Amino acid sequence: MNAVRLDSNSEIPLYEQLAEQIRSAIKKDKYGDLSPLPSPKHLSRTLMVSKVTAYRAYWHLAKLGCVEWIKGKGFFVTMKKGC
């Protein structure tokens, strides 16, 4: 997750900002199909946001079909048409 910029003063929630930036990186082929994403814990420490924010971003992307959660393994890019 290079160059992720979150604006805490924005009206857009942080998790939506984060999700959109991850989605943009997926669309630009920064991640291949089934590529693992950083853990929410790692993402929260790196970006200095709560783990809840990181999880919400990933679950938002999962609803869109961009990522998939595999129990015990983490979140992976899925490249479904909703993304």
CB within 8 Å of 64: residues ≥ 6 apart: 23, 82, 83
Domain assignment present for residue 4? The answer is: no
Domain count, the chain: 1
| pLDDT tens digits for range 43-65 | 999 999 999 999 999 999 999 99
Domain assignment present for residue 51? The answer is: yes
Q: Residue 14 — left, alpha, or beta (φ > 0 → left; ψ -120 to 50 → alpha)? A: alpha
Domain assignment present for residue 8? The answer is: no
User: Is it the case that residue 2 has pLDDT exceeding 70?
Assistant: no
By residue range, what is the domain housing residue 37? 14-77
Domain assignment present for residue 35? The answer is: yes
Q: What is the pTM of this model?
A: 0.86
Positive or negative: CA dihedral 63, 35, 57, 11: negative
What spatial distance separates the first Cα and last Cα of the chain, rounded to whole Å? 17
Token pair belonging to 23: 């989605």
Domain assignment present for residue 40? The answer is: yes
- pLDDT at position 82, please? 63
- pLDDT at position 31, please? 76
| CATH number of the domain enclosing 46 | 1.10.10.10
